Amino acid sequence: MAGKSFDQLDGEIWYDGAFVPWREAQVHLLTHALHYGSGVFEGVRAYEGRIFRLREHTRRLFFSARVLDLDIPYTPEEIDAACEQVLEHNGLRDAYMRPIAWRGAEQMGLSARKATVHVAIAAWEWPSYFTPEQRMQGLRLDIARWRRPAPDTAPVMAKATGMYMIHTLSKHEAEAKGFSDALMLDWRGQVAEATGANIFLRKGDTLHTPVTDNCLDGITRRAVIELAEKRGLKVVERAIWPTELPAFEECFLTGTAAEVTPVASIGPYAFTVGEVSRALMEDYDKLVRGKN
Ligand code: PMP
């Protein structure tokens, strides 16, 4: 196994309003979320002691909870304050943070309105989702065989635990074939996103990225659109078909964990790890550190 098991880290986790030692932050086997996927979460990063766009993450957490009919027993302000506390309490300045809300074990079976909605926030040092080599040379993406479902077949707009089932399957299949990640298409066959990040493609001075009707409305995606426009690039949000891939010159992924990571190829289509990706990597790094 790579690295230390995530239930064996040090520190304390905010769990239903109080801090508990890391290894004691547990759930029961009959937790509803484990059986039926009734959980929503966020991935947040703090840089040099400042949490990047915390309010946007908390807003999305509550949005996801609403989509899953989960009633979070705190206000967004209380969750924001708890995130700040987690960082401070654990003496962390650069950290990845994972707020999660889920239905507990008080009720078993499909109907679970009376089950308690629990909330926990863990934070740990997590340098980069991809290795420095992958970030320098660009990722090689497989094209996943699983497709993101239509909005009337699954709660696709929510950052919900169950939505990640096909993403893990796609990531595993890609890794087994020697790729670092996979491009997910949607139910129509349009380009959607990578397994844990949004996608941008460049042609000339224009960046193209899928509209968010088939992918997560990424907070990094929004930030990168602003940064690209500041650099005078045009950004077009539209439906993108895989048949268009050969026409693009550069490609990169965006996400809280992935930050801005260049893509060298998607299936048989190659891209240059070029200037625009590198410039936006730097711009994003400055932005999260409050330096631009
Ligand atoms: N898509 C998926 C499937 C993700 O898991 C993530 C990471 N949360 C993203 C996109 C990027 O979103 P964000 O920039 O808000 O982290």
| Residue 283, ligand 1, Cβ within 6 A | no
46 Cα to the center of ligand 1, angstroms: 16
| Residue 256, ligand 1, Cβ within 6 A | yes
Confidence at residue 133, expressed as pLDDT on a 0 to 100 scale: 87
Confidence at residue 132, expressed as pLDDT on a 0 to 100 scale: 85
Judged by average pLDDT, the poorest of 131-135, 140-144, 189-193, 267-271 is 131-135
In this predicted structure, the answer to whether residue 209 has a pLDDT above a threshold of 60 is yes
In this predicted structure, the answer to whether residue 129 has a pLDDT above a threshold of 90 is no
Distances (CA, A) of 125 to 13, 32, 97: 14, 29, 9
Walk me through the domains of the chain, giving residue ranges and CATH numbers. Answer: 6-124 (3.30.470.10), 132-288 (3.20.10.10)
At 135, is the pLDDT very low, low, confident or very high (cuts 50, 70, 90)?
confident
Confidence at residue 2, expressed as pLDDT on a 0 to 100 scale: 62
Which ligand 1 atom sits closest to the C-alpha of 167? Answer: 3
**Phi-psi category of residue 178: left, alpha or beta, with phi > 0 → left and psi -120 to 50 → alpha:** left
198 Cα to the center of ligand 1, angstroms: 6
Span 260-277, average pLDDT: 96
| Residue 180, ligand 1, Cβ within 6 A | no
pTM recorded for the entire structure: 0.97
Interacting residues of 226 by C-beta distance below 8 A, sequence separation 6+:
none
In this predicted structure, the answer to whether residue 97 has a pLDDT above a threshold of 70 is yes
What is d(CA 81, CA 161) in angstroms, rounded to the nearest whole number? Answer: 24
| Residue 38, ligand 1, Cβ within 6 A | no
| Residue 43, ligand 1, Cβ within 6 A | yes
In this predicted structure, the answer to whether residue 38 has a pLDDT above a threshold of 60 is yes
Which secondary structure element, helix H or strand E, spans residue 137, and what is its range? helix 132-137
Span 199-212, average pLDDT: 98
Q: What is the mean pLDDT of the chain?
A: 96
Confidence at residue 24, expressed as pLDDT on a 0 to 100 scale: 98
Span 108-124, average pLDDT: 95
Confidence at residue 50, expressed as pLDDT on a 0 to 100 scale: 97
pLDDT digits (tens, 9 = 90+) for 154-203: 999 999 999 999 999 999 999 999 999 999 999 999 999 999 999 999 99
Confidence at residue 215, expressed as pLDDT on a 0 to 100 scale: 96
pLDDT digits (tens, 9 = 90+) for 60-87: 999 999 999 999 999 999 999 999 999 9
| Residue 90, ligand 1, Cβ within 6 A | no
At 1, is the pLDDT very low, low, confident or very high (cuts 50, 70, 90)?
very low
216 Cα to the center of ligand 1, angstroms: 6
Catalytic residues: 159
> CA nearest 104: which of 38, 164, 12, 159?
38
Which ligand 1 atom sits closest to the C-alpha of 43? Answer: 8
What is d(CA 88, CA 103) in angstroms, rounded to the nearest whole number? Answer: 27
Residue 81 DSSP code: H
- Helix, strand or coil for residue 65? helix
- 15-20: Cβ within 8 A, 24+ apart: 15/118, 15/120, 16/118, 16/119, 16/120, 17/74, 17/82, 19/89
Cβ-based neighbour number of residue 127 at 10 Å: 8
Confidence at residue 136, expressed as pLDDT on a 0 to 100 scale: 87
Best mutation site among 216, 222, 224, 252 for ligand 1 pocket (most ligand atoms within 8 Å of CB): 216
What is d(CA 159, CA 166) in angstroms, rounded to the nearest whole number? Answer: 13
What is d(CA 155, CA 160) in angstroms, rounded to the nearest whole number? Answer: 8
Span 208-220, average pLDDT: 97
Which secondary structure element, helix H or strand E, spans residue 76, and what is its range? helix 76-89
Confidence at residue 130, expressed as pLDDT on a 0 to 100 scale: 86
Nearest CA residue ID for atom 3, ligand 1? 196
Confidence at residue 12, expressed as pLDDT on a 0 to 100 scale: 98
| Residue 42, ligand 1, Cβ within 6 A | no
